Structure 1
């Protein structure tokens, strides 16, 4: 992988960058609150054949065309209900450019601001196409944080804004659909978890931020209205393992967090879960998460700080929900 370019430090806030990005030609602003177009004009400036050809050239643009100039246009494609355009082209090209260093830090900062803003598009809705822009913005943001971890390009204030947006997004995402044969991946819980996972691994995020991440994960472990079947529990567990590996959250804080996770929220006991679909969904999701967390801790290649204390606690929590 080529070395990442050094950061071009600018005294701009992420909020200012976001306002500039949304005001740029070709990036339409939402009209009427959450009524957002599936594909904004910036994406439509180039047809699918253009993006396919660009991908076939491994992301290398034609002479005279700048990768930096294409980043925001691709970000507007993340809301497309077309899985090839959204996932196979926009996500893959943006990831390629971030990992290769083709996107400059100067371009990444307004792009990150735009992605943070897109997390709010239709947030709280379910069953609508607005889900695509939110969930794929979270996924691409996870790649931006990966890049920032390798070579920081965000100011401390901007990184805090991403963290704040991420811990706000996951608990409030109501569209829990995972995959559609015709529309492809939605996967909001998994993609939101991926963003938190990257943030948890960032050395720039300290104890307070890690505890916020744990609380955001807890909010989505066991929704009563949906049973996870698309690997969401594993992605949530991966976040928690990353937090544990940082060694900054005291064992007693994690113990209280785990106790709350294993408690049958809204039920007198786990036995009561068998009396309703919502209870069964909670039980299923909690079991899946604790199994995933236990497996991830057992199978990790290098020991995490406090692992010897944490693993028996996870096993005890798993036994609480597995013996009913």
Structure 2
């Protein structure tokens, strides 16, 4: 395992590297974004990627994006979990490809390792990182917002034994709040994505609450707060965004949560 002082070939500044050395540095960065060592992957490679990506050319970003999309089927959980985080940084620059969406939308609800943190691997956070990508795509022109909301709902309702324990529910709720503030949403679309949750809650039986149900309930409760109060899109100074159809959304969330609320008639 590398020591924290090992010099990385991608360095601190992409503008200082060119030609073959630059291509090699980008590939080295991609390799380290898969590292099982959190000091290499999270503390150095990811922070370097945040600096590098805005300075890369379109072809370089496409190359990195293709690598990350392919990594969503990687056998190593840390590789899969960090791929959407890098795709989000690429999408923020304006670059996005349909094949990346297809890879992401196939992976997100199917991911089975939802641990927030592992003692050896460090932060994994697949559910939260996927939500972060959805939040970025919610602000991208031409991205159908209903498909984003449906994807988040599919992630919540997928069978799992893992109970969110690192604020993944808050991150997914924030992503949904940003999606549901999209001006292109119709009133029907702003609540239609909840239909699978209504059906799943309605089919519940007495007994211990399944992890997926608890995760979904907590996410929808936070979404209710954000829908009522607004969600900050990110950059300081921007006003909070409100749902495109606030009253309809709040009503639908309340009716959905009432199905699983105790002591209601």
- TM-score band w.r.t. shorter chain: 0.7 to 0.9
Change (3 A) 1:70 1:319: same
CA distance in 2, matches of 1:107, 1:141: 13
Change (3 A) 1:229 1:262: farther
**Contact 2:178–2:241 under 8 Å retained in 1:** no
Correspondence 1:138 to 2:91? no
What is the Cα deviation at residue 86 of structure 1?
A: 0.6
1:219-258 aligned at under 5 Å gives the runs 219-222=154-157, 223-258=159-194
Correspondence 1:94 to 2:11? no
The corresponding residue for 1:204 is: 142
1:286 corresponds to which of 216, 229, 249: 216
**Contact 1:52–1:89 under 8 Å retained in 2:** no
Change (3 A) 1:53 1:204: closer
Change (3 A) 1:173 1:182: same
The corresponding residue for 1:307 is: 246
The corresponding residue for 1:24 is: none
**Contact 1:68–1:104 under 8 Å retained in 2:** no
Count of equivalent residues: 253
How high is the TM-score relative to the length of structure 2? 0.83
How high is the TM-score relative to the length of structure 1? 0.69
The corresponding residue for 2:31 is: 76
What is the Cα deviation at residue 146 of structure 1?
A: 0.8
CA distance in 2, matches of 1:164, 1:280: 29
The CA RMSD over aligned residues, in Å, is 2.9
Structure 1 gap ranges (5+): 1-38, 123-129
- Stretch of structure 1 that moved more, 305-314 or 86-95: 305-314
